[in-house]
Amino acid sequence: MGLFITLEGPDGSGKSTQIRRLSELVGRLEIEVQTTREPGGTPISDQIRSMLLNPENHAMTAKTEMLLYAASRAQHVAEVIRPALAAGRVILCDRYIDASLAYQATGLGLSLEEVRHINSIATDGLWPTRTYMIDVPCEIGLERAFASRGKSLDRIEQRDLEYHRRVRDQFLQIAKEEPNRIVIIDGTQPVEAVTEAIWQDLRQHLRRSG
């Protein structure tokens, strides 16, 4: 059985960059590694991603958004994550259920228990063994997102600062409640320092699990 590792954090925290860098480091240990992302990761999930992130879909309700994320996740787990784990691979996933708890539950005012329950059904209770929460102040994260994508910010990124602050606060609360699974990483450091901070822990996690 493989290992399921996720990276979480506010928009602009640098998760995608770190996924690429960590994949190279894991591969150097001659461990089979696979990277993926949410929402997305399969053709069906990518179609749902397009609906979720399209700024024109401003009429989408909070509950619709939450259910679409869960639907995308259900397909992703069934088609990509579980088969990869069964094949013994290390999975590095950009976002997972923690993101829904932060963005849809706390961010949009939905019930945390409701969001957990729906996602438990969607994933058949699959949780990562390790999560790296890359934390950055919202102002910095949104600045980075704007610098990299400019006016093409997606529907979620375009939300106001107070929304993004609620999201960040919930990520930190989840990390506080689950210290055995979640490691908080200071995302304001240089990219190389963030990679090193994650790698120091991940390398040990791989050894313990291998």
Task: Tell me whether residue 185 is in a domain.
Answer: yes
**Binding-site residue set:** 9-16
Give the percent of the chain with pLDDT over 90: 93
Question: How confident is residue 148, by pLDDT bands cut at 50, 70 and 90?
Answer: confident
pLDDT higher than 80, residue 1:
no
pLDDT for 150 equals: 64
User: Is the residue at 42 inside a domain?
Assistant: no
Q: Given a cut of 90, is residue 25 above it in pLDDT?
A: yes
In whole angstroms, give the CA distance from residue 139 to residue 143: 6
> Where in the sequence is the domain holding 147, given as residue range(s)?
3-36+82-207
Q: Quick check: is 69 in a domain?
A: no
Q: Which two tokens stand for residue 121?
A: 């059904």
Whether residue 122 lies inside any domain: the answer is yes
Residue 57, domain member (yes or no)? no
Residue 25 counted as domain residue: yes
Which residue ranges are tagged as binding site for ATP? Answer: 9-16
Residue with tokens 């999201």: 167
Question: Is the Cα torsion angle 35, 155, 157, 151 positive or negative in sign?
Answer: positive
pLDDT in tens, 161-200: 999 999 999 999 999 999 999 999 999 999 999 999 999 9
Angle at 144 between CA 143 and CA 149, to 5 degrees: 100
Does 151 have pLDDT greater than 70?
no
Q: pLDDT tens digits for 40-52?
A: 999 999 999 999 9
> Tokens 């996720």 correspond to what residue?
6
pTM of the model: 0.95
Does residue 63 form part of some domain?
no
Give every CB contact of residue 101 below 8 A, 6+ residues apart in sequence.
Answer: 112, 115, 116, 170, 174
**The CATH number of the domain where 187 resides is what?**
3.40.50.300
What is the domain count for the chain?
1
Q: Is residue 108 part of a domain?
A: yes
Q: Which residues make Cβ contacts (< 8 Å) with residue 168, sequence separation at least 6? A: 10, 102, 135, 137, 138
